[in-house]
Amino acid sequence: MSQSRTYQVRTYGCQMNVHDSERLSGLLEDAGYERAAEDATADVVVFNTCAVRENADNRLYGNLGHLRPAKDANPEMQIAVGGCLAQKDRGEIVRRAPWVDVVFGTHNIGSLPTLLERARVQREAQVEIEESLETFPSTLPTRRESAYAAWVAISVGCNNTCTFCIVPSLRGKERDRRPGDVLAEVRALVDEGVAEVTLLGQNVNAYGVEFGDRRAFSKLLRACGEIDGLERVRFTSPHPRDFTDDVIEAMAETPNVMPQLHMPLQSGSSRVLKAMRRSYRKERFLGIVRKVREAMPEAAISTDIIVGFPGETEEDFEETLDVVRQARFSMAFTFQYSKRSGTPAAEMEGQLPKEVVQERYERLVKLQDSISAEENRKLVGREVEVLVAEGEGRKDGEHRRLSGRAPDNRLVHFAATGTDGEPAEPRPGDMATVTITYGAPHHLVADSGIRAIRRTPAGDAWAVRNGRAPEPSGVLLGMPTVGAPAATTVSAGGCCDS
């Protein structure tokens, strides 16, 4: 194969897909492909699809249709479709879009380069779907999108059977990765400069079920706490049914595990939770929230909520609002229920009219936004250390700000100056200490200038990746009393990249 063939991976859906796409890119680069320029048509276009989102199939076939003229003009171009929708639709994809070259499933992403090659040699479409996992995706090569933050899969699949969810039928039963393998990957990432890892699984609290250790997840968090240079550990998603106190203790007692919890509620009504086949009730959910707050008063707790599940009454919905009022989430991802073919809920009676769902949804969003704003306003005046991010603030250039995440994962937009007003520009991956000056519902603002910058190996890794020279670590800005020795302290503006 020519060295110059280019590729593009288009990703839809959840973090698991984003992570799988990093593996797909890594596999293709290992096989000699190069990433295509943003505005170029790639020689190989890979769709990593999602079956959870509404109209996912229409969108996929629409996108495949858009690519057809390019494919007709260049028969050497190849199109591959993977991910959950491919696992679901299988051969149907090449029947509906015969110009597709490769279809692969969620269990065999490692086969992509071979399938592309086979399709080229045999000049016919290759459809290969496995029923169970071939290779744990984390053992495949990877091309990570970020120099300073990384996903680490600890498990794939799910043993639950939530009636609205297609994941169990497409991703299969839960498979747990061995703790030693997970920790080896985390250590290797830290050696490359990564400052933050997010442990990823459909239900992280069930981690260990496959190898018979119900405390495996809390042990894993504590073991991450032992890794030198690992600044921040997060995880997603937990499940209220399996959430145990040892996890709360491990979170509270492990300094690099961040004070943040994203725990899906889905509904506050016990009746609806039962119909969703989510085997916890409102009281248990609120009990976990209370314990987390007792152990970590600074913790930000966020959630996912589905409005308008089949059969949801006004009283059921009021129960959800009640949990929202009591839990005081920092943020909620709110969804209007809509049918997903292949799920039990799609066949249930009591599907609600769109207007009813819309009206409830708007009430929920209004309530949550007011709570988020109140909670965020409480942080005004507080000093936080922000991990500087790349691409998190759309209007940053316009406002001369940078953006990043506070320890509790709140998004902070901050002025790109020192406290003296001189320009300052920490690199993505560096840590900037700022004081919150304003709290909006969905973000915080810190406009009084950066009080200190901590140059990190993660910032160096970002600089190397972007063709810039690493800088001496420990340089401070604006606050000579914190952290590094005075000899490395320079005044605002003196150590910035700009």
User: What string marks each residue from 224 to 243 as x (binds ligand SF4 by CB under 6 A) or -?
Assistant: ---------------x----
Minimum separation from the CB atom of position 54 to ligand SF4 (A)? 16
Buried b (16+ CB within 10 A) or exposed e, 314-353: eebbebbbebbeebebbbbebbebbebeebbbeeeeebbe
Smallest distance from the beta carbon of 164 to ligand SF4, in angstroms?
Answer: 7
The smaller minimum CB distance to ligand SF4, of residues 158 and 194, is found at: 158
Q: Is 224 known to sit in a ligand binding site?
A: no
Count of other CB atoms within 10 angstroms of residue 41:
15
Question: Considering the rule CB under 6 A, would residue 288 count as an interface residue with ligand SF4?
Answer: no
CA distance 48 to 248: 34
Six token digits for residue 164: 């609205």
Nearer to ligand SF4, 163 or 473 (CB): 163
Give the whole-angstrom CA distance, residue 138 versus residue 125: 27
Structure tokens at 62: 């629409």
In the chain, the largest separation of any two C-alpha atoms, in whole Å, equals 71
Closest separation in Å from C-beta 386 to ligand SF4: 30
Nearer to ligand SF4 by Cβ, of 259 and 310: the residue is 310
Q: Is there binding between residue 483 and ligand SF4 (CB under 6 A)? A: no
Closest to ligand SF4 by CB, 27 vs 156, is 156
Asked whether 102 and 91 are in contact (CB, 8 A), the reply is no
x/- track of binding to ligand SF4 for residues 1-40 (CB under 6 A): ----------------------------------------
CB of 203 to ligand SF4, least distance (A): 5
Between CA 161 and CA 241 the distance in angstroms is 13
| Smallest separation, CB 471 to ligand SF4 (Å) | 42
CB 97 within 8 A of CB 104: no
Number of residues located near ligand SF4, criterion CB under 6 A: 9
Question: Please, which residue, 244 or 473, has the CB nearer to ligand SF4?
Answer: 244
User: Is it true that the peptide bond before 473 is cis, omega within 30 degrees of 0?
Assistant: no
User: Of 74-82, 155-163, 177-185, 431-439, which segment contacts ligand SF4 by CB under 6 A?
Assistant: 155-163
Location of structure tokens 């769709």: 47
Which CB, 213 or 304, lies closer to ligand SF4? 304
Please tell me whether 495 is known to bind a ligand: no
Q: Is 368 in the site for ligand SF4 (CB under 6 A)?
A: no
Phi and psi at 386, nearest 5°, equal: -105, 130
Please count the residues of the chain.
498
Residue 87 binds ligand SF4 (CB under 6 A): no
> Which of residues 333 and 442 has its CB atom nearest to ligand SF4 in the complex?
333
Site string for ligand SF4, 156-185 (x = CB under 6 A): --x-x-x--x-xx-----------------
Alpha-carbon Rg of the chain, whole angstroms? 24
**Would you say the C-alpha torsion 18, 24, 27, 32 has a positive or negative sign?**
negative
List the structure tokens of 401: 């700000």
| Closest CB to ligand SF4 among residues 11, 202 | 202
181 exposure class (CB count in 10 Å sphere: 0-12, 13-18, 19+): middle
Give the other-Cβ count within 10 Å of 144's Cβ.
18
CA distance 155 to 158: 9
Q: Which member of 17, 25, 202, 218 binds ligand SF4 (CB under 6 A)?
A: 202
Phi, psi of 475 (to 5 degrees): -75, 135
Min CB(228)–ligand SF4 separation in Å: 33
Q: Binders of ligand SF4 among 38-67, rule CB under 6 A?
A: none
Closer of 167 and 275 to ligand SF4 (Cβ): 167
We find the least distance from the C-beta atom of residue 304 to ligand SF4, in angstroms, to be 9
Range 245-274, binding ligand SF4 (CB under 6 A): none
Return the residue matching tokens 């059977």.
Answer: 161
List, in order, residues 6 or more apart from 379 with CB less than 8 Å away. Answer: 410, 436, 439, 444
Q: How far apart are CA 309 and CA 306, in angstroms?
A: 7
| Residue 50 annotated as lining a ligand binding site | yes
Based on CB atoms, which residue is closest to ligand SF4, 160 or 254? Answer: 160
Pairing mode of beta strands 444-446, 126-128 = unpaired
Residues in binding site: 14, 50, 84, 158, 162, 165
Residues forming contacts to ligand SF4 in the complex (CB under 6 A) are 158, 160, 162, 165, 167-168, 202-203, 239
Residues in binding site for [4Fe-4S] cluster: 14, 50, 84, 158, 162, 165
